[in-house]
Amino acid sequence: MKGNIKIVPGTPNDDNREYLPEAIKHSDMVVNENGNNSLVYPARLQEFTEAVVDSAPSTWYEYVPASYDGSRKVPLVVSLHGGLMTGWGQAIYSSWTLVADREGFIVLFPDAGARRIWIVETEKKTLEAFSKPNPEGFYLHTPPEDPADNRDIRVIFSLIEKMKQKFNIDEDRIFLHGMSMGDIMSSQIARYFGDRFAGQAGSAGVTWPEVLWDAEGRIRNRSGPLSVWQTRMDYDSIPLHEEETGEFVRLNREYWKQVNGCRSLPEIKIEGENNFAFYRGEQADFVFLEVKNRDHGQTFDDAELVWDYLFSGVRRDPAGGRPDCGPSILPRKGDAWAIAAAAGCDRAYVHNRLVDMSGPAFIHRSLKYHGLNGGAIVRGEYLMTPVSFVAHVLEAELATSHGGLAAELKLKDGRVVQFARGNVGCVVDNRVRAMYCEAVFRGGELYVPIQWIFQRLFDYHASMCDHVLYITDHPAELSKHMAALIRDDILGASPR
């Protein structure tokens, strides 16, 4: 029987400009910005300090839901905080404690130590840049050559053993999660010791490609496949590599796709600002999520999404075989009705299946001219697709006339729609309708603004980013990295 989630009111600190105000601890203060959002300090969160590796003390936080009575095995989630934060900071800046209340699992939030920075593998350029304290106090430590000698990793594994001795933990359902540098740390552990976990997830921590691949382009991995989740943020960027952020995001995604044997195309699902790509792997599954209009950090519901779509259905195979990816609370399925098309591509992704078009889509600009000899202002950009493609998607009867310069669609609901070259409007059931832009004749076929057709004639939702258009039957906001994924990885073409 599931428990209930109860959120309690907090006292907002809207004047906060600190990364992690110490005053939050054991208070009802909450802080919010467009990257991290906190909840009230959980009453059941317990702090512990003890020497678990060598003589130096380590601090960690345990969250045990009220439903736990030790009578049955429960999952364990290990969640790692971002750089300069703490275990309790990760507890309040995530919703793991809330999901644990409902699902009955236990959460461990370790501290990285007094320096609050995890010891992670780093590219040489970044390690040199942050090898000594800077004004923010952020600096990196050179990791040991053997990850098994990494003190932070040893502490984490010692704490996991401690939790297994203290609680009735299901050893095949131990999960690893992290935010920002905690994401980088959890990814590092997954690459070397992933066979000890059922799954790994993280938000906003992109690992340097130099760490993931050797000079010959071969994958660096000692542990094998693992069910993995990556959350990325629309406004995030990589320090020292701001212009290469998109490539870093792509290579991090490609790493786990290759390790897990994800050879088929993903299923795309966009709900509001959440842009999902669900990959089915031969060895393990992979989930990519980008959140539109978000800065570096994690969303309030990140833990909920990770648990509902992935962790809830994954179990480690002790024999080292494919993880059991049984039914999760929410199925990893793409949108049942959706069209993805991109400028320069002669294929579209229709209901998560590739469909050929008679010619490539292109961007047509609606212009406003000033005066008799004035310049032009672009008032709108619209993706144009062949009218035959629209007919195919709608299962409509298509008839052309005037050498293809005019077209008539008879829809399944009985409506008749007429288009003609140069007309910025169309005729729907003998009534005139203005469109976003005029129909265009190109490559021997009439092109029409597909976005207008589905928005105005069917009340569907359309979102365009970087000349990639996504149309579906519910609110959806296409994000930039998802647009690149659709254009380059699925449709296989670059904008022209």
* Domain end point (choices 283, 302, 325): 325
User: Residue 367's pLDDT is what?
Assistant: 75
Give the distance between the most distant pair of CA atoms in the chain. Answer: 87
User: Residue 495's pLDDT is what?
Assistant: 43
Report the alpha-carbon distance of residue 424 to residue 439 in Å, rounded.
6
- Residue 303 sits in the same domain as residue 352: no
CATH number of the domain at 420, please: 3.30.457.10
Cross-strand pairs, 431: 428
Structure tokens given for 60: 């960690």
- Residue 371 sits in the same domain as residue 244: no
Report the alpha-carbon distance of residue 81 to residue 200 in Å, rounded.
14
Report the alpha-carbon distance of residue 37 to residue 78 in Å, rounded.
20
User: Residue 370's pLDDT is what?
Assistant: 63
User: Residue 454's pLDDT is what?
Assistant: 98
Structure tokens given for 221: 């991995």
Q: Does the residue 178 lie in any domain?
A: yes
- Residue 252 sits in the same domain as residue 374: no
- Residue 295 sits in the same domain as residue 399: no
Q: DSSP string of 43-92?
A: TTEEEEEE--SSSS-EEEEEE--TT--SSS-EEEEEEEPPTT--HHHHHH
- Residue 310 sits in the same domain as residue 161: yes
- Residue 415 sits in the same domain as residue 318: no
Cross-strand pairs, 11: 29
* Domain end point (choices 298, 325, 352): 325
Q: Does the residue 56 lie in any domain?
A: yes
Q: Does the residue 332 lie in any domain?
A: no
CATH number of the domain at 56, please: 3.40.50.1820
- Residue 300 sits in the same domain as residue 383: no
**How many domains does the chain divide into?**
2
Give which of 314, 354, 315 is closest to 334, Cα–Cα: 354
Report the alpha-carbon distance of residue 111 to residue 121 in Å, rounded.
18
Q: What is the number of H-type helices and E-type strands within the chain?
A: 11, 28
- CB pairs under 8 A, 24+ apart, for 43-50? 44/97, 45/88, 45/91, 45/97, 45/109, 47/88
Q: Does the residue 4 lie in any domain?
A: no
- Residue 113 sits in the same domain as residue 25: yes
Cβ–Cβ < 8 Å for 136, 90: no
Q: Does the residue 466 lie in any domain?
A: yes
- Residue 168 sits in the same domain as residue 90: yes
- Quote the domain boundaries for residue 414: 338-490
- Residue 348 sits in the same domain as residue 397: yes
* Domain end point (choices 256, 291, 325): 325
Q: DSSP string of 288-329?
A: EEEETT--SS--TTHHHHHHHHTGGGEE--TTSS--EE---S
* DSSP designation for 487: I
- Residue 257 sits in the same domain as residue 358: no
For the full predicted model, state whether its pTM sits above 0.85.
yes
- Residue 301 sits in the same domain as residue 444: no
User: Residue 496's pLDDT is what?
Assistant: 38
**pLDDT digit of tens for each residue in the chain (496 aa)?**
689 999 999 999 888 767 788 899 999 999 998 888 999 999 999 999 999 999 899 999 999 999 999 999 999 999 999 999 999 999 999 999 999 999 999 999 999 987 889 999 999 888 888 877 665 567 788 889 999 999 999 999 999 999 999 999 999 999 999 999 999 999 999 999 999 999 999 999 999 999 999 999 999 999 999 999 999 999 999 989 999 999 999 999 999 999 999 999 999 999 999 999 999 999 999 999 999 999 999 999 999 999 999 999 999 988 877 777 778 999 999 999 999 999 999 999 999 999 999 999 999 988 777 655 667 777 889 999 999 999 999 999 999 999 999 999 999 999 999 999 999 999 999 999 999 999 999 999 999 999 999 999 999 999 999 999 999 999 999 999 999 999 999 998 444 3
Separation of first and last alpha carbons in the chain: 55
Q: Does the residue 2 lie in any domain?
A: no
Secondary structure (3-state) at 95 = coil
User: Residue 491's pLDDT is what?
Assistant: 96
